[in-house]
Amino acid sequence: EVIDYFYTAGSLELPNRGCKANLLKMPRKLLFSANNDLAVRILGGYSLLVLAK
């Protein structure tokens, strides 16, 4: 049973992730603020943290 979940932004918070990650940083932030599920599916760079019972 899933109690709660959220996305962790490893690609945005960790330093020195490479050129590709740096290029996608701003689009990830903008799309995630508008629709987080869509941003995760399209651009990636996030991990799913799940609290389960």
2-21 pLDDT, tens digit each: 999 999 877 666 666 677 76
What confidence score (pLDDT) does residue 2 get? 95
Indicate the pLDDT class of residue 1, thresholds 50, 70 and 90.
very high
- Residue 45 contacts residue 11 (beta carbons within 8 Å): yes
Q: What is the pTM of this model?
A: 0.65
DSSP bridge pairs for 48: 7
36-52 pLDDT, tens digit each: 889 888 888 788 999 99
What confidence score (pLDDT) does residue 17 get? 66
- Residue 25 contacts residue 12 (beta carbons within 8 Å): yes
